[in-house]
Structure 1
């Protein structure tokens, strides 16, 4: 019923033939460990870059939110008609700062000349939103625009408040009333120009 365990694999090298086999396999084990080390280095590099990005994101958000609070207060007291535009300008600065300091990002804006002039009629931009970088990339285009964003983003500390001050539009997924309200708010922004 019970079989005897084969101990030839665990008992070590017994003769020269096995010794030669072991010697022949040794470099492949070294290559495997080198491959593992390179793989580990690439993974560590990803973790280091991710940690750098999040530290950069948090630091720039805190610094620029402080600046945004000053800008918001100034415009609320002295230039209320330009309140959301000034807040959006700080958001543009934030997005451009993240791109400028990001270690792995390069960017080139093409086709900016095809956009209408700043004082021309309003238009709608639709971005292919495949990653978080798309959000900051649109800030590179410049000009005044308003985001249509899910309501969860408005609950993020500092970022949500900055979005409200800039006049960005919140929409709740799956809620038709919220969707209609978001479309109406977007229309109002388009009418304002």
Structure 2
């Protein structure tokens, strides 16, 4: 190993997307479904505040999306098969879409959406637009001999009190006291 660091070689590392993207997923419950412009839209609580790069540069940061029913089972296709639909987030602008025109079984309130390939950047780039909380992050191990899946908390979900403090509650009267 010392020969790698004696100056003959240039060492380049990249530990983000290429190594970690496949190791994460975001599970989001469909809060409600609607239609706009003739296309179904599933509205979830996971959007631009988590998938900032995907929402603003979808061609460069695409996500694979899977559909599950409310019990977590793969959602079966009905009727004519998959339906082109958008997966929207909670932010207050029409472009808060993590997937556009995605062919999936038609989603309804209570269903789950899995946004795959979110192991790199998605949990560290949260932004507090609309005071949306940072979600909890959980690791899991499914390799036990007994077949059980074990979960561990990596980061607690952000509380309302933490959002209020982060938003400046300590200094709430500051502007009203200016002359």
Give TM-score, length-normalised by structure 2: 0.22
Higher strand share: 2
- Choose between structure 1 and 2 for higher RCO, CA contacts under 8 A separated by at least 6 residues: 2
The structure that has the greater radius of gyration is 1
Give TM-score, length-normalised by structure 1: 0.21
